[in-house]
């Protein structure tokens, strides 16, 4: 099947007067005495194509009565000839011969205007905001990055594993969970009856996953190199510009690998994705650089070409203590790194991404490999300028006795982790992996500042419209 050409494809043609058909949505109309200019966009690229209605043309009668309906947002199909443009601003344009309006967008009710809108306003019309330059560009970058993630791992021998969305174990340990149930809670409450989860769909409590890591580790211990890429859910009451209740996470896991391999993988991964974005989303990134985040391109280019700064947690704290006076929270060994600390490390100390390793075991998860010093674990976070943590990962504790001991210390249930402990009981290997928040990656690459703007339909506390 030959699909009709998109505006992106048409703009790549040499204009020689060939017949073309434009299908898209009208962005603006400019009327002059001799010509009427329509800017048409179909989302295939940032650029519009200029369609020209000659007021002296013999076809004038066919579109003249449509003029009042050629408003911002209307969908149209225009046929004509692709010709070199006599004016500056575009190399080619369409000399329209026939024009149809497919769907009207009445100016008195269509919310998008021929002017800039605030992100706050556009968030209220998430179903229409993708028709703007900014959100179209975000959608294209998001698409390219999702594809590049698969390319990166596939090229390196990683297998894509579909870990479950629904989980009946509440031991994933990454935060508050959304409960999933088919019980009629309203009826039970009205009848004053207690909830009996034996009667629930799964015969026990079930939740939406907060992380695919524990499940993907099982496949890691058979396929060696694996990754998940799917939605995850956190029921935390987080109201920030970098948290969502529903977000997409990439979690690779490598067998026979240690924290050094993990750092190398994470670094290569980020540099690969940024390089792809710079190469394949050039005009969209240029738009972000001009309109959203000045300096974005320069900083992304630097990320690709320079090695990431690496420091241990202990070194990081030492660095922070030198500037202790400038912080609201005084840094000390054993403290969790605050937002202001992460910003300082990336923006002031490193001037780019920073890999921080070997955190105190008290502030990290039970499954992380314990270091010889007895006080730290082989954890690895990648922090970036502007918003901090983008990757969290570690080498995993692969020794059964040490893992069981840590589970006991933290008062967790060994029974709940039975299958996870089996991975250490049978053919255990050193292994390591990390989680990358997809939307945080997109914030970093687009220069957008609110995570609710880089996912089509954001979910957050009291926010589940559309």
Partner RNA sequence: UCCCCUGUAGCUCAGCUGGCAGAGCAAGUGGCUGUUAACCACUGGGUCCGGUGUUCGAGCCACCGCGGGGGAGCCA
Please list every residue from 402 through 461 that binds RNA, using CB under 7 A: 435-437, 439-440, 449-452, 461
Span from 13-21, 27-35, 310-318, 412-420 in contact with RNA (CB under 7 A): 27-35
Give the nearer residue to RNA in terms of CB position, either 201 or 457. 457
Check binding of 170 to RNA (CB under 7 A): no
The footprint of RNA on residues 178-217 (CB under 7 A) is 211
Give the nearer residue to RNA in terms of CB position, either 123 or 156. 123
Within 8 A by CB and 6+ apart from 69, the residues are: 101, 104
Q: Cβ 210 to RNA, closest distance in Å?
A: 8
Q: What is the CA radius of gyration of the chain?
A: 27
Residue of 41, 72, 169, 262 interacting with RNA (CB under 7 A): 72
Residue of 68, 192, 194, 374 interacting with RNA (CB under 7 A): 68
Pairing of strands 354-360, 376-384: antiparallel
- At 434, phi and psi to the nearest 5? -155, 170
Within 8 A by CB and 6+ apart from 7, the residues are: 22, 24, 40, 41, 42, 44, 45, 47, 48, 49
Strand partners, 395: 432
Check binding of 247 to RNA (CB under 7 A): yes
Q: Cβ 74 to RNA, closest distance in Å?
A: 11
Give the nearer residue to RNA in terms of CB position, either 182 or 239. 239
> Binding marks (x or -) toward RNA, 120..149, rule CB under 7 A?
xx-x--------------------------
Residue of 98, 143, 154, 237 interacting with RNA (CB under 7 A): 237
**With CB under 7 A, what is the number of residues at the site for RNA?**
74
Instruction: Determine if residue 456 is left, alpha or beta; phi over 0 gives left, psi from -120 to 50 gives alpha, anything else beta.
Output: alpha
The footprint of RNA on residues 347-406 (CB under 7 A) is 363, 388-392
Of 117, 112, 50, 106, give the one whose Cα is nearest residue 78.
50
Give the nearer residue to RNA in terms of CB position, either 13 or 183. 13
The footprint of RNA on residues 249-308 (CB under 7 A) is 249
Distance CA 292, CA 286 (A): 10
DSSP 207-227: EE-S-SHHHHHHHHHHHSEEE
DSSP 127-158: TTGGGSHHHHHHHHHHHHHHHHHHHHHHHTTP
Give the nearer residue to RNA in terms of CB position, either 234 or 369. 234
> Binding marks (x or -) toward RNA, 36..65, rule CB under 7 A?
-x------------x-x-x-----------
Which secondary structure element, helix H or strand E, spans residue 7, and what is its range?
helix 7-11
Distance CA 360, CA 407 (A): 16
Give the nearer residue to RNA in terms of CB position, either 43 or 111. 111
Span from 82-90, 183-191, 255-263, 421-429 in contact with RNA (CB under 7 A): 82-90
Residue of 65, 118, 190, 305 interacting with RNA (CB under 7 A): 118
Tell me if 26 sits within 8 A of 39, measured CB to CB. Answer: yes
The footprint of RNA on residues 304-333 (CB under 7 A) is 329
Check binding of 243 to RNA (CB under 7 A): yes
């Amino acid at each position: 099947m030959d699909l009709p050409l998109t505006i992106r494809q048409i703009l790549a043609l040499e204009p020689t007067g060939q017949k073309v058909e434009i299908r898209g949505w009208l962005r603006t109309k400019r009327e002059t005495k001799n010509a009427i200019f329509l800017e048409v966009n179909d989302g295939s690229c940032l650029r519009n194509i200029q369609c020209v209605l000659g007021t002296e043309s013999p076809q004038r009668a066919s579109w003249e009565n449509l003029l009042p309906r050629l408003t911002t947002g209307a969908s149209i199909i225009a046929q004509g000839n692709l010709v070199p443009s006599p004016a500056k601003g575009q190399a080619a344009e369409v000399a329209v011969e026939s024009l149809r309006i497919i769907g009207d967008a009445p100016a008195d009710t269509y919310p998008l205007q021929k002017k800039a809108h605030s992100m706050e306003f556009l968030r209220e019309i998430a179903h229409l905001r993708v028709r703007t330059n900014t959100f179209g560009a975000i959608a294209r970058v998001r698409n390219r990055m999702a594809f590049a993630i698969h390319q990166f791992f596939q090229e390196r021998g990683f297998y894509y594993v579909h870990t479950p969305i629904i989980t009946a174990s509440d031991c994933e340990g990454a935060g508050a969970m959304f409960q999933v149930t088919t019980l009629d809670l309203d009826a039970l409450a009205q009848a004053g009856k207690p909830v009996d989860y034996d009667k629930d769909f799964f015969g026990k409590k079930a939740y939406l996953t907060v992380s695919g890591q524990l499940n993907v580790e099982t496949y890691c211990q058979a396929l060696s190199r694996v990754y998940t890429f799917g939605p995850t859910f956190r029921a935390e009451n987080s109201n920030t510009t970098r948290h969502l209740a529903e977000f997409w996470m990439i979690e690779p896991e490598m067998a026979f690998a240690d924290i050094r391999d993990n750092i190398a993988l994470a670094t290569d991964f980020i540099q690969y994705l940024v390089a792809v974005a710079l190469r394949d989303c050039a005009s969209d990134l240029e738009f972000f650089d001009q309109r959203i985040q000045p300096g974005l391109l320069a900083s992304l280019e630097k990320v690709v070409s320079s090695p990431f700064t690496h420091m241990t947690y202990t070194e990081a704290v030492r660095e922070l203590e030198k500037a202790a006076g400038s912080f609201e929270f005084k840094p000390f060994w054993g403290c969790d790194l605050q937002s202001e600390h992460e910003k300082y490390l990336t923006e002031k100390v490193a001037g780019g991404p920073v890999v921080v390793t070997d955190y105190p075991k008290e502030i990290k998860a039970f499954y992380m490999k314990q270091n010889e010093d007895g006080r730290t674990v082989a954890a690895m976070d990648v922090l970036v300028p502007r918003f901090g943590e983008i990757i969290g990962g570690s080498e995993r504790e692969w020794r059964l006795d040490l893992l069981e001991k840590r589970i006991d210390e933290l008062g967790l249930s060994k029974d709940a982790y039975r299958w996870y402990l089996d991975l250490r009981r049978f053919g255990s290997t050193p292994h390591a992996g990390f989680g990358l928040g997809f939307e945080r990656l997109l914030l970093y690459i687009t220069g957008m500042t609110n995570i609710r703007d880089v996912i089509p339909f954001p979910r957050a506390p009291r926010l589940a419209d559309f």
